[in-house]
Homo-oligomer: A and B are copies of this chain.
Amino acid sequence: MKKLVNIILLFSLSFLAMGQQISSPNGELQLDFELKEGVPYYSLNYKNKPIILPSKLGLELKGKSDFTSGFVISNADKREFDETWEPVWGEEKSIRNHYNEMTLTLHQDAEHDHRTLVIRFRLFDDGLGFRYEFPSQPNLAHFIISDEKTQFAMAGDHTAFWIPGDYDTQEYDYVESKLSEIRTLMTQAITANVSQTSFSPTGVQTSLMMKTKDGLYINLHEAALIDYATMHLNLDDEKMIFESWLTPNANGDKVYLQSPSVSPWRTIIVSDDARDILASRITYNLNEPNKIEDTSWIKPMKYVGVWWEMITGKSSWAYTDEFPAVKLGVTDYSKAKPNGKHGATTANVKRYIDFAAEHGFDGVLVEGWNIGWEDWFGNAKDYVFDFVTPYPDFDLEGVRDYAKVKGVEMIMHHETSSSVRNYERQIDKAYQFMKDNGYNAVKSGYVGTILPFGDNHYSQWQVNHYQYAIEKAAEYQIMVNAHEAVRPTGIGRTFPNLIANESARGTEYQAFGGSKPNHVTVLPFTRQIGGPMDYTPGIFEMDVSKLNPDNNSWVNSTIANQLALYVTMYSPLQMAADLPENYERFMDAFQFIKDVGLDWEKSVYLEAEPGYYLTIARKEKGTGNWFLGNVNGNEGRTVEIKFDFLEAGKKYEAIIYSDTKDAHYRNNPQAYEIKKIKLTSKSKLSQYSAPGGGFAISIMEVQ
């Protein structure tokens, strides 16, 4: 009887067309799917121009027959979906999730064990998401993906903003080049990092931003990276075909799965206007809705912290220089001679708390407060931190009480040193310790090579760890800001307690030799496609040697550029990273950081060109104030702004923080000027930005 059903099924299958297609709701994008001799292909067109040429889909399974061919289409479902949802925090108050969906059920022949693979496509007006789905089936109950063979065939030798593919870090400067030039430029693109594993001379990371000769913008990334390996892209630079390249576990396997399960979504955002890339919410829309019922404890925060002084080398995380090796619970700090440079002293932290309280900041981060920093790094040390024991010169309870009186929240710091097992062993105790002492947010770090050596930061194994920490933190009502973790893929929709990540080259590199002046014009098109970045802007003293004579690094930015970042680098968590004494020298400019909003009713992308400039205006939730930011690339440029995004008929007063004409990120970074002007929705402004500069404008309604 069962056999008969199978025969009928197979018979009926043969009637399904081998080609299927859908269009985006507005009709501008068209997705075509085709089986050629049993092999699945898809292609994507935008306004009748090819974005993805016919590209193969499929996977290789370890020890099992081929999963890339021998398919027929056994079912095709199409539907339209349209909803609007409200994020807990974000660039706008509500997000529309509108797509046409096509779900294809593919069936393999007897030679391939009669397996079923579902491919689900969601075509939005701003791009495509698709994923593999593995329905429950006896012949595919548990399996190991040895390679994912998803192709993205480019229609030309596009310009790309790329960083080297790497299993362990994204902390690279972006390179702008033709796809065909990647191979030649790779070696110099791979700058030193404390943990890095590149894999191919044409391997790059996502999100990858590209621009075609005829002015199309294409972004490749992934959404909802859950229980899967992080995807990189490897380029066949003869054919201009990218193929998915998954990060391996310790033994080289890519993904362990069982059915039913799904892959992350592979995303292709497309437009002929770069602003649409920034405005796209595909990545969030492809994630599951919020799973945290009570979100009242998730709150955007503006913070200062004991951090930049360590990054620059002015002070140290470590308490003493006496111990070549520390054993937690054994090493006796009480008898150690302090090194005199420790940043996280009670007195210094109280200074930051005072500063935060005086200027209306929500929180103070303290790094180097807990014992173990003397040998924390690069030593393959398992029990490296306990996350609950303060140094002798840090009165945790005293500071806690002091901050409470001052109305400031303390932000916890958990550096795992990539000793991930140790972190998991301590995590309940560490989170409970936070709650017991009134900490509601944690900055976590994964510096160094994953322990035990052999695994990678972006493997399925570690991806599952980061997710474990996020979900565990949610149980404790703790917000997470994870550094050196895998780059985000919109998971902040589902777990909005993931309020930020670093997972890219952050401001710290300005103290490690400097980043490219146009770095911040690229990040919103790449790293931030997946979620907010704790970029830690707000550096006012660009000459790092002023803080530490032994450090000759230079912050490649102007003060006006630094201010603009609070608008252009969206994050519900924003640090004012410089030292209080540096802010005190420029209190007029600092006023913008104090004023700027954190959570937005809406965002207007006024102009954008990756690598060159972007100008964004955002309306703050609650106050109705607007804030506008422009960041500029390597050359000086004048921006023409129309304020027609303002409400017609209303009067506004604006404060403009801008570069002077002679400002320059390298020679004259502190040359800014502040002007007050009146604005209406009919106003226009012509505003200059210096090389590596920018401007910031706060706009308040005049009653």
Interface residues of A (CB under 8 A from B): 136-138, 141-142, 144, 249-253, 256, 258-260, 324-325, 327, 375, 379-382, 421, 424-425, 428, 451-455, 459, 461, 464, 468
A142/B259 in contact, CB under 8 A: no
A250 CA / B382 CA spacing, docked (Å):
15
Contacts of A256 in B (CB 8 A): 380-382, 451-452
Contacts of A468 in B (CB 8 A): 425
Question: What is the minimal beta-carbon distance from A8 to any residue of chain B, in angstroms?
Answer: 23
Question: What is the minimal beta-carbon distance from A311 to any residue of chain B, in angstroms?
Answer: 24
17 contacts between A and B (CB under 8 A): A141-B324, A141-B325, A141-B375, A142-B379, A142-B380, A144-B380, A249-B453, A250-B251, A250-B453, A250-B454, A251-B452, A253-B452, A256-B380, A256-B451, A258-B375, A259-B324, A382-B464
A250/B325 in contact, CB under 8 A: no
Number of copies: 2
Q: A137: nearest residue on chain B (CB-CB)?
A: B324
Q: A138: nearest residue on chain B (CB-CB)?
A: B324
- State which of B144, B259, B451, B455 has its C-beta within 8 Å of the C-beta of A325: B259
Contacts of A141 in B (CB 8 A): 324-325, 375, 379
B259/A452 in contact, CB under 8 A: no
Question: What is the minimal beta-carbon distance from A420 to any residue of chain B, in angstroms?
Answer: 9
Question: What is the minimal beta-carbon distance from A422 to any residue of chain B, in angstroms?
Answer: 10
A256 CA / B380 CA spacing, docked (Å):
6
A452/B136 in contact, CB under 8 A: no
A461 CA / B380 CA spacing, docked (Å):
12
Contacts of A421 in B (CB 8 A): 421, 424
A249 CA / B451 CA spacing, docked (Å):
10
- State which of B137, B325, B428 has its C-beta within 8 Å of the C-beta of A142: B325
Q: A227: nearest residue on chain B (CB-CB)?
A: B382
The 6 closest A-B pairs by CB, nearest first: A251-B454, A141-B324, A250-B454, A142-B379, A258-B325, A250-B250
Which of the listed residues A249, A325, A424 has the most CB atoms from chain B within 10 Å of its own CB?
Answer: A325
A249/B452 in contact, CB under 8 A: yes
Contacts of A137 in B (CB 8 A): 324
A250 CA / B452 CA spacing, docked (Å):
7
- State which of B138, B250, B258, B381 has its C-beta within 8 Å of the C-beta of A327: B258
Q: A379: nearest residue on chain B (CB-CB)?
A: B142
Contacts of A375 in B (CB 8 A): 141-142, 258
A260 CA / B324 CA spacing, docked (Å):
10
Contacts of A459 in B (CB 8 A): 452
